[in-house]
Amino acid sequence: MKKDELSHLAQDGARIAVRVTPKASRNEVALRDGQIRVATTAMPEDGKANKAVQKLLASALGIAKSRLELIQGATSKDKVFQIKG
């Protein structure tokens, strides 16, 4: 997915649900069947995968990664991020 391709979702306070695949062969953000899927090469240990997903998703949304907060699913493949204003 290109940078800023999901920018229409970048509204203050918006909650964005994603499905994560850690230890993938490449980093990718994709929209499949109406769901945002993020694949990352990072390992799911010590929050590395969560940080990588935050960075990838922020890039796809066209916002700073500091504006994204993980509010649900820290240890799950299904995560919810909220955009801070």
* CA 36/CA 58 separation, integer angstroms: 13
Res. 3 pLDDT band, cuts 50 70 90: confident
Q: Would the pLDDT of 4 be above 80? A: no
- Are 24 and 44 contacting, i.e. CB atoms less than 8 angstroms apart? no
- Are 83 and 8 contacting, i.e. CB atoms less than 8 angstroms apart? no
Q: Is 46 exposed, middle or buried (0-12, 13-18, 19+ CB in 10 A)?
A: exposed
* Full set of structural domains in the chain with CATH: 7-83 (3.30.1200.10)
* CA 67/CA 70 separation, integer angstroms: 10
The tokens of 23 are what? 């230890």
Q: Would the pLDDT of 2 be above 80? A: no
The tokens of 76 are what? 């799950």
pTM for the whole structure: 0.93
